[in-house]
């Protein structure tokens, strides 16, 4: 159960990252966009800095909630379980 929710969080995280990257590139900041591809935390921080200018408040709120949710889900997952695929 936790694994499925965590995968959904990861997918939403990637979608939000891509949306913010597109906004960075659309604003003409190619160098910052490339830096955002290399360093995801930069994209997150820069997105919050430019939240009003880019009009991405909802995206950044969702991204922040998803990051917090994924951290909580990772802490709740049992770490001593080894998944062996059935043959």
25-50 pLDDT per residue, tens: 999 999 999 999 999 999 999 999 99
CA–CA separation, 57 and 82 (whole Å): 39
CA–CA separation, 71 and 87 (whole Å): 32
Task: Count CA within 13 A, CB hemisphere, residue 38.
Answer: 6
Q: Which pTM does this prediction carry? A: 0.84
Sorting pLDDT into bands at 50, 70 and 90, what band is 4?
confident
Contact 46, 24 (CB under 8 A): yes
CA–CA separation, 83 and 73 (whole Å): 18
- Is 87 a residue whose pLDDT tops 80? no
Residue in the block written with tokens 């290399």: 38
- Domain range annotation of the chain: 2-76
């Amino acid at each position: 159960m936790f694994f499925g929710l965590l995968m959904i969080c990861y997918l939403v995280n990637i979608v939000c990252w891509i949306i913010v990257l597109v906004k960075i590139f659309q604003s003409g900041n190619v160098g910052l966009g490339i830096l955002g591809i290399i360093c995801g935390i930069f994209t997150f921080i820069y997105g919050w800095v430019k939240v009003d200018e880019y009009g991405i408040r909802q995206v950044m709120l969702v991204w922040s909630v998803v990051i917090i949710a994924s951290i909580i889900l990772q802490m709740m997952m049992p770490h001593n379980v080894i998944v062996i695929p059935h043959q």
